[in-house]
Amino acid sequence: MIAPRCLGCGRVVVSLFGQIERLDSYLLEPGGPPAETAGHWHSQCLVASPVGGAWAAARMRNLVDVRGYGVVERTGSWCVLEDPRDGARMGLSDQGPLLVLPPATALAHRAWGSGYRERKAEYNLHLPMPDLIAAMQAALVRDGACPMAMVFDRLELWSCLQHPEALADARFVYDEELREEWGAEWLCAGAEYDVVVPPELLRRCR
Q: What is the mean pLDDT of the chain?
A: 97
In sequence order, what are the beta bridge partners of 42? 20
Mark the ranges of the chain whose per-residue pLDDT is less than 70.
none
Q: How many residues comprise the chain?
A: 206
- Ramachandran class of 113: left when φ > 0, alpha when ψ lies in -120 to 50, beta otherwise: left
Residue 5 is given by DSSP the state B
Residue 206: its pLDDT value, please? Answer: 87
Question: Starting from the edge strand earliest in sequence, which strands make up the sheet with 70-75, in order?
Answer: 70-75, 78-82, 89-93, 98-100
Neighbours of 78 (CB within 10 A): 21
CA 58 to CA 97: how far, in whole Å? 12
What pLDDT digit, counting tens, does each position of 141-190 carry?
A: 999 999 999 999 999 999 999 999 999 999 999 999 999 999 999 999 99
